[in-house]
Structure 1
Amino acid sequence: MSSRASVSALQRLLEQLKLQVGVERIQISQAAAELQQYYALLLSVPAGSNPLLEPRSCAFL
């Protein structure tokens, strides 16, 4: 690797590390708690317990 290529690679690495320093990090326990709030959005809700589902009635005359 030439010295220019290694300097360029080190500059890219430095820029990447500068970006990573600014990233907000949270604890895994907090992330897990937040994911549990949205768990129902990831899986379908059973029709019997869905409060937003319009009640259906069918009557044969």
Structure 2
Amino acid sequence: MSNSSASSNLIIAQKAVKQLRLEASIRRIMVSQAASELSRFCLQNASKDPLLVGVPSSDNPFRPPKSCSLF
């Protein structure tokens, strides 16, 4: 193994250790707690969700254009 590949492997290993330490320091919560908080958030904001309540036609930029007819 050459000196440059050994130093390259060392740098890669150091980066991996740094990333693992960072991930280990992240505060974690129980899945049940996260699910409960997510459910509560969704229920609190359901009245503002355009996928649930729809978009008023006056505010909808994707509404079909009005046709114009001449008599």
Q: What is the TM-score normalised by the length of structure 1?
A: 0.62
Greater RCO, CA 8 A, separation 6+: 1
Identity %: 28
Q: 2-side partners of 1:8 and 1:23: how far apart? A: 23
CA offset at residue 39 of structure 1? 0.5
**What is the CA RMSD across the aligned residues, in angstroms?**
2.2
1:26: which partner in 2?
A: 29
Q: Which structure 1 residue ranges, 4+ long, deviate > 3 Å from structure 2?
A: 42-46
SS in 2 for 1:38: helix
Aligned residues: 46
Select the structure of larger CA radius of gyration.
2
CA offset at residue 2 of structure 1? 1.0
Q: What is the TM-score normalised by the length of structure 2?
A: 0.54
CA offset at residue 32 of structure 1? 0.2
5+ residue gaps, structure 1: 47-61
